[in-house]
Structure 1
Amino acid sequence: MSDVLRLDRADDRVVATLDRPEVRNAIDQATVDALHALCGELETRPRILILRGAGGVFASGADIAQLRERRAVDARRGINSEAFRRIRRLPMPVIAAIDGYALGGGAELAYAADIRIGTPGMRIGNPETGLGIIAAAGATWRLPAIVGEARASELLLTGRILDGAEALAWGLVSSLHEPDELVGAAHAVADRIARHDPLATRHTKSALLAPADAHPAIEADLQAELFESPEKERRMTAFLERKHR
């Protein structure tokens, strides 16, 4: 278990807690390395992932002390963006449970999740241009898909920070919960996912992530596999038996 990323594992899910409270869970190289290791585990044994932060903060951003020292060669390595890309493409759904600050790289980590829930006190946004850089770990292409181009442009160009009510109204999170209920709410979402066929869930995520020109062929291929699945037969038989009782 990493010192910066606490992992609680169950058969159907993993809860990963960013744990650098002294710097509001800023994402440093050790955190990136731990996220890569976690992705390797979940790519090998797919499970639902719940991402959260310790100490009432999701992630206040990238570690500025490290970021200040990075140069052009580091930018081209895509240090954070590669880790977040792997999180986005994990086989099973990723749920981000956001409390407190989710800024800069912390916001981009949240954007990589499939489902985001938050608290009224959350604060999310991308103030990178105020630091002389851009949001280069997914915000410029993931955020428009989440909230639309006009709202994404406003957030990224002005550095505006949204509170929980604004994030909910903009569709950036799907629900708000009190801080002491947030993790339970994330587990409730995971419970609903876990009741469904894991392969069907994985194939649904694959279709959602596919490029526009892959549709509708990708659905036909994925559905063809599921139509031959014993689990499809079992679940549909059970449904019909319940219906006729």
Structure 2
Amino acid sequence: MPDSLSTLIVTRQGDRLHVQLNRPAVRNAIDQAMVDELHRVCAELEAMPRILVLSGSHGVFASGADIAELRERHGADALAGINSGLFARIAALPMPVIAAIDGWALGGGAELAYAADFRIASETARIGNPETSLGIIPAAGALWRLAQLVGEPVAKEIIFAGRILTAAEALAVHLVTEVHGAAQLLDAANALADRIAAQDPLATQLAKKVFHSPLAAHPQIDNEAQAVLFESPAKFERMAAFLSRAKST
């Protein structure tokens, strides 16, 4: 996959991929071309698991779905789950996903961020779901992911009443975990990625898989994942290094 696509800029950095949404003329609105290119990113990360850092460009994360394209869609398009299928795939990537939100993250742009494992924001971030003002619903994850993230009362205020959260408000309800100046946002995202990368990759992948498993699957799925890790070379190496450090202090 080339580093520069028609709607994305992709940068590979060893243990991570940085993907910038890049449709500045329409504030990074998500169209079919962007959906297709993000599927290509997912295919690469499924084949070779790495951390994904998602960001916008030109001071905007993503203003939503491309309204000109969305206006021409009909019932069959809704049933195809164009955006919801993509965001589910992003959420299920083997390694963690970090959304670095600068400026507007609205509608489908917000739902893309909700699919990430981590959301950090710039001071100018504005996050919301104004779909009902356009005669549709946020059907690509907000109607269930958002309540899990911020609780039902706040989620209803955002979805039913059009509330747009500032960065400070998003931090207060734990929708984002960090707020930085715009110029420091990507450095902060990479610092978080560094902390993730310092963990054992297999343990991180299995922890993410088990964390997102249905409640009924526990504790069996926990035990099965732990059984794999108990036999992994990294477990013996990391525990031996820990004991060696402890002994020398």
Relative to the length of structure 2, the TM-score reads 0.97
Q: Percent sequence identity over matched residues? A: 60
Which contiguous aligned blocks of 4+ residues in structure 1 show a shift greater than 6 angstroms?
none
Report deviation, 1:85: 0.6
Question: Take 1:37 and 1:215, find their aligned partners in 2: how far apart are those partners?
Answer: 32
- What is residue 30 of structure 2 aligned with on the other side? 27
Q: How many residues align?
A: 245
Counterparts of residues 159-174 of structure 1 (less than 5 Å):
159-174=162-177
Question: Take 1:155 and 1:214, find their aligned partners in 2: how far apart are those partners?
Answer: 32
Report deviation, 1:119: 1.1
Question: Take 1:97 and 1:108, find their aligned partners in 2: how far apart are those partners?
Answer: 13
Structure 1 unmatched runs, 5+ = none
Question: Take 1:141 and 1:87, find their aligned partners in 2: how far apart are those partners?
Answer: 16
Are residues 1:234 and 2:240 paired?
no
Report deviation, 1:212: 1.1
Q: CA RMSD in A?
A: 0.6
Question: Take 2:144 and 2:224, find their aligned partners in 1: how far apart are those partners?
Answer: 27
Report deviation, 1:120: 1.5
Report deviation, 1:194: 0.4
Measured against aligned partners, the alpha-carbon deviations of 1:100-140 in whole angstroms (never above 9, x if no partner) come to 00000000000000000001110000000000000000001
Are residues 1:192 and 2:195 paired?
yes
Q: Which amino acid aligns with 2:184?
A: E
Counterparts of residues 140-155 of structure 1 (less than 5 Å):
140-155=143-158
Counterparts of residues 1-245 of structure 1 (less than 5 Å):
1=2, 2-245=5-248
Question: Take 1:223 and 1:14, find their aligned partners in 2: how far apart are those partners?
Answer: 28
Question: Take 2:230 and 2:162, find their aligned partners in 1: how far apart are those partners?
Answer: 47
Structure 2 unmatched runs, 5+ = none
Question: Take 2:214 and 2:129, find their aligned partners in 1: how far apart are those partners?
Answer: 26
Question: Take 1:163 and 1:11, find their aligned partners in 2: how far apart are those partners?
Answer: 33
Report deviation, 1:172: 0.4
